[in-house]
Copies of this chain bind each other. A is one copy, B any other.
Amino acid sequence: MAKRLIPSLNRVLIEKILPPSKTNLGILLPEKTSKLNSGKVVAVGPGARDKKGNLTPVSFKEGDSVLLPEYGGTEVKLGEKEYYLFREDDILGTLHD
């Protein structure tokens, strides 16, 4: 069952990053914070087709830390792990330290 997925077109496979629980500091996260999620790019499709049928490469790459929208994305279970597929256009940006 533990298969590898190569996303189609401009789809991006993402592993969501769970926010650190912060229980060591005793601080509860407000509800609003949990709405925006970040994730790590696991696999990237070959890109969407333009009007002439050529592929436009996806601007994200494996390993990128990305900011995800509150809604959207398709849940995918590969092996025991849960991933999410997003269209390139729906990813809000890349996160850097």
Interface residues of A (CB under 8 A from B): 1, 3-9, 11, 13, 20, 32-33, 35-36, 38, 43, 45-46, 49-54, 56, 59-60, 65, 67, 69-70, 74-77, 85, 88-89, 91-97
Given A3-B97, A67-B76, A97-B4, also A92-B36 (CB < 8 A): no
A51 touches which of B36, B51, B91 (Cβ 8 Å): B51
Specify which chain B residues have a CB less than 8 angstroms from the CB of A88 in the assembled complex: 8
Asked if A93 and B50 sit within 8 Å, CB to CB, the answer is: no
A interface, over-half SS: mixed
Specify which chain B residues have a CB less than 8 angstroms from the CB of A59 in the assembled complex: 8-9, 46
Given A4-B95, A51-B51, A76-B36, also A89-B56 (CB < 8 A): no
A60 to chain B, nearest CB (A): 8
